[in-house]
Structure 1
Amino acid sequence: MNTMLSRIARWRRIAVAVPIIAACAVTGPNVAQAEPGGSYVESVEHVNDRQMVVNVHSAAMNQTFPIEVVLPADRSQPRPLLYLLNGAGGGVDGATWARNTDYVDFFRDKNVNVAVPIGGRFSYYTDWIRDDPRVGRNKWATFLGKELPPLLDKELNTNGSRALAAISSSATSIFNLAIDNPGQYKSIAAYSGCVQSSDPLGQNAIKLTVETWGGGGSVENMWGPLNGPGWREHDPVVNAEKLRGTQIYMSTGSGIPGINDTPANPRVADGRINLPSLIAVGAPIEAATNFCTANMANRLRELAIPAVVDFRATGTHSWAYWEEDLHKSWPFIAGSLGL
């Protein structure tokens, strides 16, 4: 939890400077919002007039997680809610929307609640079939798909319309969240994701993310033995028919370095991103997500399920492109939410 608290502190510093009307004001547990399963809003911290942190206790994981929120420009009536998921690190590292993009500024004039959950490091935001001796209990599909939505809807006075957007490994997660919760999300927007899990490419990508880069749990504690039924059950390509009725947006670069893969990228200039690593690591990863995105697009086409797919001619697996993807996909997301 100390890591999460320091993460929130960083978010405050990074957030756009606006008049602070209730900094550090915290309300106590909102027992009235407790769900039947025992989840509840533990406290709310008002950062400024447009940003807050809602601390939500998950009964499934018996932990409390911060949800960073950007409020709508006009709160005179209920507004929709966009969940914006961080990548593999779950927002407890430096690879976050807050640190690497302008998302707070971008949503300043928009009438939508934006919620960024913090936690779930290298969990794939899924329910693991058993507790892992190194990473403990992961029940993120339950938290994000069942426990959190009614609590946030009530806390933020939303109109009940929801959308999901995510990058990289979390792009797989939002497809599965939409599949597991039919009709709950008007749309999903996946940026640079490898949306397949039961074939060798998808399994190797997941194993690399969870076990090698995450340095933590075993993927067999997540979905069972490789090539087992758990992997097919969580493969959006295999289960694509269940996405019918959900509006879908996907984007990916080609892996060929582009304009943002140069010293001109401000993230490179200020030291947030190492340029050689960006190209050496980000290029092959993005080439793989391009292949995966094409597979998913082809499957949706076979099923006559509409989708908007943006194949960028250049671009590595990196934040500058995801910031652009968020901007570019916003009209699609807004339309799905009735804005």
Structure 2
Amino acid sequence: MLLMVVLIAAGLGVTGAGQAAAVAHYRFIVGGCGMPAKPVDMWVGAGNYKTVIALDGLRATSRKSGWAYETNIAKMAYSGVNVVEPVGGLASFYTDWNAKPGNKIKYRYRWTCRLNRIIRELDARGMATGRSGKYAIMGVSMGGGAALTYAAHHRKRISHAFSMSGYISLASPGMRTGIRIALADAGIEAGLGPFNADAMWGPPWDIRWINNDPVMQLNRMRGMKIRIASATGIWGQYNVDPVGSAKGTPLEMLALQQAGIFQAAAAAQGIPITTDYALLGTHQWDYWQDMVWRAKNSGWFRDR
């Protein structure tokens, strides 16, 4: 069952030329797909030219999206871009799993199915804006690769795909082992026991790993607006937490390497993409927030 609940009737912001813009914040609940119902938060501005679905990172919670906890990207709704933030998806890679992720979760993740349902709900409320009538999708880390992969397999509904610090070349040496370790760690940290990567896409040689590897699916994205972003892992203005920054440095260095592989593969296939490589930054929300605003301010979210 889909239920729309209005949280905030309207707010006022200011756009270019001093014009007032009304922005509404909604929360609707999406069920089905064999998973517990979860909320989706949405910020909508009158007359906006695009709607973007923002996917969370590996340690997504069931209360609010990390985008809502950690960033101000909802403010894009005041100046052209509606923002949609699905809640949940802990260590899910926003994909349909083969089996339950672990013994303490009694259902199979089916996030591809859930995203399809979210888009149908957005359609019903006239959110497929712009000349294309399609959506943008973006994500960070785990959600970055998921955004590209979902776009590749759903190009009839997605026109823009944006990965920030994503792991987007799963065939690279060590990546499948790294994902196995990351899933186990995320499940343990959440008190749910280790998640099993084989339950997601099967053993490392299964074809589903290829089908969910953004580099391997590049040709399916031909003609879309594709953007990838990463920083270098060098500490910058937001690295005030030494422990968190130290953890984020190697993750971002790996993401930068992955971005380079994806960019090279796109160039070899003649597929144009937009890149955003920041000189400073680690694997954390402040830098991802800046990446979104640079994309917004450059006009990337607009249809061609």
Instruction: Please classify the TM superposition score into its range, dividing by the shorter chain length.
Output: 0.7 to 0.9
Q: What residue is the counterpart of 1:326 in the other structure? A: 292
The residue type equivalent to 2:218 in the other structure is: A
* Larger mean Cα displacement after TM superposition, 48-57 or 289-298: 48-57
Instruction: Find out whether 1:226 has 2:193 as its counterpart.
Output: no
Is residue 70–residue 114 contact of structure 1 (8 Å, CA) maintained in 2? yes
Q: Paired residue for 1:99, among 63, 69, 75? A: 69
CA deviation string 1:185-231 (max 9, x = no partner): 11111111110223333213321321112324211010001232221
Is residue 192–residue 317 contact of structure 1 (8 Å, CA) maintained in 2? yes
Q: 1:329 to 1:205 in 2, by over 3 A?
A: farther
How many angstroms does 1:71 deviate by? 1.0
Q: What residue is the counterpart of 1:267 in the other structure? A: none
- 3-state SS of 2:134 partner: strand
The residue type equivalent to 1:86 in the other structure is: D
How many angstroms does 1:328 deviate by? 0.3
How many angstroms does 1:312 deviate by? 1.3
CA deviation string 1:245-269 (max 9, x = no partner): 111111100111122214xxxxxxx
The residue type equivalent to 1:335 in the other structure is: R
Gaps of 5+ in 1: 1-39, 263-274
- 3-state SS of 2:181 partner: helix
Q: What residue is the counterpart of 2:14 in the other structure? A: none
Is residue 163–residue 333 contact of structure 1 (8 Å, CA) maintained in 2? no
Is residue 179–residue 242 contact of structure 1 (8 Å, CA) maintained in 2? yes
How many angstroms does 1:95 deviate by? 7.2
Q: What residue is the counterpart of 1:191 in the other structure? A: 164
CA deviation string 1:51-82 (max 9, x = no partner): 1101112x21242110001011x25xx85321
* Larger mean Cα displacement after TM superposition, 201-210 or 115-124: 201-210
Q: What residue is the counterpart of 2:233 in the other structure? A: 255
Q: Paired residue for 2:30, among 52, 56, 63? A: 56
Q: What number of residue pairs does the alignment pair up?
A: 280
Gaps of 5+ in 2: 11-23, 189-193
Q: 1:180 to 1:41 in 2, by over 3 A?
A: same
Q: What residue is the counterpart of 1:235 in the other structure? A: 213
Alignment of 1:126-165 (within 5 A): 126-132=95-101, 133-135=103-105, 136-144=107-115, 146-159=116-129, 160-165=133-138
The residue type equivalent to 1:143 in the other structure is: R
What is the TM-score with the length of structure 1 in the denominator?
0.77
Q: Paired residue for 1:90, among 36, 55, 60? A: 60
- 3-state SS of 1:333 partner: coil
Is residue 144–residue 167 contact of structure 2 (8 Å, CA) maintained in 1? yes
Alignment of 1:28-39 (within 5 A): none
Q: What residue is the counterpart of 1:312 in the other structure? A: 278
The residue type equivalent to 1:294 in the other structure is: G
Distance 2:39 2:181 in 1: 27
What is the TM-score with the length of structure 2 in the denominator?
0.85
* Larger mean Cα displacement after TM superposition, 239-248 or 280-289: 239-248
Alignment of 1:170-181 (within 5 A): 170-181=143-154
Distance 2:213 2:229 in 1: 18
Q: What residue is the counterpart of 1:118 in the other structure? A: 87
Distance 1:207 1:296 in 2: 21
Q: What residue is the counterpart of 1:271 in the other structure? A: none
Distance 1:55 1:156 in 2: 17
Is residue 227–residue 273 contact of structure 2 (8 Å, CA) maintained in 1? yes
Distance 1:231 1:221 in 2: 12
- 3-state SS of 1:134 partner: coil
- Which of the two has greater strand per residue? 2
Q: What residue is the counterpart of 2:3 in the other structure? A: 42
